């Protein structure tokens, strides 16, 4: 499903792995977090042989953004997988829910059997967390941009590193589809993500293949 996103990111010089995880009703929180942590731990071990080595970044959209940011902020999941958030060079969240209590959406309620602070990414905001890039669209009515604004404000309050970018006129699905070649004209999402990755990589412009730059990424 996310081949278009992986291909676009790879064209900017990143080595991309697209993991999967179990969904409700097969599992509920926090079981799917364990799946994500296992995937990240595996990539961390194998990234050099896959052609990476410039630092590991997590990125997700919507529920995937929740998972990515939660892994970056709450150390318990990666530690349980034999890893640590310390391996992360950055975390990128597109239209993610990070501060959404009380849960009112009937489709979401059963996913979190025991709703409370422990299932909210904002609870685990900390100064020494990996740097965050939080992207939103002003027309997102599925996951309100206030989620990103609240998390960013909390991170800054604690002295953490966070960047926020809001794209005017972009909705929930439009934010992720803007990575696809046919829709890049709508918003520079790919350029923003690529610039963040290469600016924060352990070895800038040496991730897999030479960095092609935002100009080529947007073509």
Mean pLDDT of 100-127: 96
42: which residues sit within 8 A by CB, 6+ positions away? none
Least confident of 45-49, 115-119, 129-133, 182-186: 45-49
Q: What are phi and psi of 35, to 5 degrees?
A: -60, -45
| Nearest Cα to Cα of residue 216 among 30, 67, 8 | 8
Q: Tens of pLDDT along 125-184?
A: 999 999 999 999 999 999 999 999 999 999 999 999 999 999 999 999 999 999 999 999
Band the pLDDT of 26: cuts 50, 70, 90. very high
**What pTM, to 2 d.p., does this model score?**
0.91
Find where tokens 């990143």 sit.
14
The alpha-helical segments, DSSP class H, found in the chain are 3-11, 31-46, 63-73, 75-80, 146-158, 172-177, 189-200, 213-217
Domains of the chain are 3-217 (3.40.50.1820)
The two tokens of residue 41 are 């731990």
């Amino acid at each position: 499903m996310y081949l278009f996103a992986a291909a676009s990111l790879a064209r900017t010089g990143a080595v991309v792995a697209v993991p999967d995880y179990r969904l409700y009703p097969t599992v509920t929180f926090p079981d799917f977090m364990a799946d994500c942590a296992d995937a990240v731990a595996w990539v961390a071990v194998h990234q050099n042989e896959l052609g990476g080595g410039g630092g590991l970044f997590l990125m997700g959209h919507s529920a995937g953004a929740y998972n990515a940011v939660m892994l970056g902020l709450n150390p318990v999941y990666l530690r349980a997988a034999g890893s640590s958030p310390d391996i992360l060079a950055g975390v990128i969240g597109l239209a993610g829910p990070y501060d959404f209590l009380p849960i009112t959406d009937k489709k979401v309620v059963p996913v979190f059997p025991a709703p409370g602070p422990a299932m909210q990414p904002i609870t685990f905001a900390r100064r020494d967390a990996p740097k965050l890039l939080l992207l939103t669209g002003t027309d997102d009515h599925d996951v309100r941009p206030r989620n990103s604004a609240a998390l960013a404000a909390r991170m800054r309050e604690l002295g953490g590193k966070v960047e926020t970018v809001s794209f005017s006129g972009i909705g929930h699905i439009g934010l992720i589809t803007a990575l696809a070649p046919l829709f890049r004209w709508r918003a520079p999402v790919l350029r923003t993500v690529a610039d963040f990755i290469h600016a924060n990589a352990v070895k800038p412009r040496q991730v897999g293949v030479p960095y092609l730059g935002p100009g080529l990424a947007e073509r």
